[in-house]
Amino acid sequence: MNWLAILAIYRFEMARFYRTLMQSFVSPVLSTSLYFVVFGTAIGSRIDQVEGVSYGAFIVPGLIMLSVMTQAISNASFGIYFPKFIGTIYELLSAPVTFFEIVLGYVGAAMTKSLFIGFVILGTSSLFIDLQIQHPLAMLGFLVLTCMSFSLFGFIIGIWAQNFEQLQLIPLLVITPLVFLGGSFYSISMLPPVWQTVTLFNPVVYLISGFRWSFFGQADVAIGASLAAIALFTGICLFLIWLIFRTGYRIKS
């Protein structure tokens, strides 16, 4: 294992993050505050409580998931797409590193960045509401697994994308709708029965539900189902990355 290479990629990627640290910090703080103003105060004042939890607190896990998923994807996809775009990928390909090591470096950095943003949102939320976390370890576990699986997914998108439009396509057309319809801001029990069934086909529902369980001890779906969903998603991403590695898809000619 070429640990120094993994570290070099990780550091180089994190340097990009440090260069835009203010931006990385301010933007989630601002968006979280806006969500609290709009959903927490304006709408929350009419909803009062969801499943025994104040609406303001109820949306926190969804808010964190929303940002973490999109940030993990955008960071990981951009991280590997940019060297392809500017041509510096030659260096990765000619270095004594395996594809697995490259993935560890890029995905590790994207995970760190999205985790950071997750914690910033958590911290900002605690300024607005009195936040209780019933299962802190499970919360951390879900957060880390989500960061990892979506960073892996972002890496795949970055390899697949051949232009900047494609880079934005999946996050915009698939992930954002799935996250919004995945119960970020509502409990699926609030939906009509038909839509409750439809919603169960949305994998993000399981992730948000599991994450919310770690906060409040209650969930839309069984916690086992949530764990299975995230394991399945991670497994699919790992398999796709293995395929890319085997075939050199869109990397090697």
Partner 1 sequence: MSVIVDVKDLSKTYEGGFEALKSVSLQIEQGEILALLGPNGAGKTTLISALCGITEPSGGAASVAGHDIQAEFRAARRLIGLVPQEVALEPFEKVINTVRFSRGLFGKPKDDALIERILRQLSLWEKRDARTRELSGGMKRRVLIAKALCHEPQVLFLDEPTAGVDVELRRDMWEVVEGLKSSGVTIILTTHYIEEAEAIADRVAVINRGEILLVEQKAALMQRMGRKSLRIDLREPVPAVPDALAPYALELGSDGHSLTYHYDTKGDGTGITRLLQALAAEGLSLRDIQTTQSSLEEIFVDLVKEDAA
Interface positions with partner 1 (CB under 8 A): 2, 4-5, 7-9, 11-12, 15-16, 19, 82-83, 86-88, 90-97, 248, 252-253
**CB of 101 or CB of 220, closer to partner 1:** 101
**CB of 94 or CB of 137, closer to partner 1:** 94
- State in angstroms the smallest separation of the CB of 210 from partner 1: 37
Q: Is 157 exposed, middle or buried (0-12, 13-18, 19+ CB in 10 A)?
A: buried
- State in angstroms the smallest separation of the CB of 66 from partner 1: 28
- State in angstroms the smallest separation of the CB of 20 from partner 1: 10
Residues 248 and 253: their CA atoms lie apart, in Å, by: 8
**CB of 83 or CB of 171, closer to partner 1:** 83
Pairing type for strands 49-50 and 53-54 reads antiparallel
The residues pairing with 49 across neighbouring beta strands, listed in sequence order, are: 54
Residues 102 and 113: their CA atoms lie apart, in Å, by: 17
**CB of 85 or CB of 128, closer to partner 1:** 85
Distance of CA 154 to the CA centre of its chain: 9
CB atoms within 10 A of CB 12: 14
SS3 assignment for 146-179: HHHHHHHHHHHHHHHCCCHHHHHHHHHHHHHHHH
- State in angstroms the smallest separation of the CB of 25 from partner 1: 19
Residues 182 and 139: their CA atoms lie apart, in Å, by: 18
- State in angstroms the smallest separation of the CB of 150 from partner 1: 24
